Amino acid sequence: MIRDTIKQALTDAMKSGDTARRDTIRLIQAALKNRDIELRGAENPPADDTLVIEVLQKMIKQRRESIDMYRKGGREELAEAEAAEVAVIETFLPRQLSEAEAQAAIEAIKAEVGATGIRDMGKVMALLKERHGAELDMSKASLMVKAALA
């Protein structure tokens, strides 16, 4: 399970004295705890690894947005700090599909549902998220699907 990997990574970072990695892993654990609290009493909570992946992807998305804003504001040192956090968070995600692999997956799903135009984007995106949600950045995938259906 990914949570166990995160817990072990925190222990390793503490032992090695890597404060930046330790702090980022603590942020991950805090975000996971918050998500667990949100889901208390939920009828159909997602599987644990699915939940962890969703939280990690959301954290990465937030940091990438921050990086863009910091760079536009001329705050390169803050952008570098956010980029370092992204690098740590990405180590806990499953391997991401390459652009060619993502394109192949999109084409296969497009053929499977018989998608012909932009009106079918919802069907394609739903299947893509279901099958490859952990392996793809869905915002980039959305742009790729839109281009494939245009």
For 120-142, the pLDDT digits (tens) are: 888 888 888 888 877 887 778 88
Give me the domain span that covers residue 32. Answer: 2-90
Token pair of 28 as six digits: 């991950």
Distance CA 3, CA 114 (A): 38
Reported pTM: 0.77
Say which CATH number the domain at 118 has. 1.10.10.410
Tell me the pLDDT tens digit for each residue of 26-82. Answer: 999 999 999 999 988 878 777 888 889 889 989 999 999 999 999 999 999 999 999
Q: Who contacts 142 (Cβ-Cβ below 8 Å, separation ≥6)?
A: 125
46 and 104 in a common domain: no
Domain edge (last residue) among 41, 63, 90: 90
Decide: 62 and 34 in contact? Cβ < 8 Å: no
Q: Among the three residues 53, 72, 90, which one is the final residue of a domain in this structure?
A: 90
- Give the pLDDT confidence of 47-61 residue by residue, as tens digits: 888 889 889 989 999
Total domains in the chain come to: 2
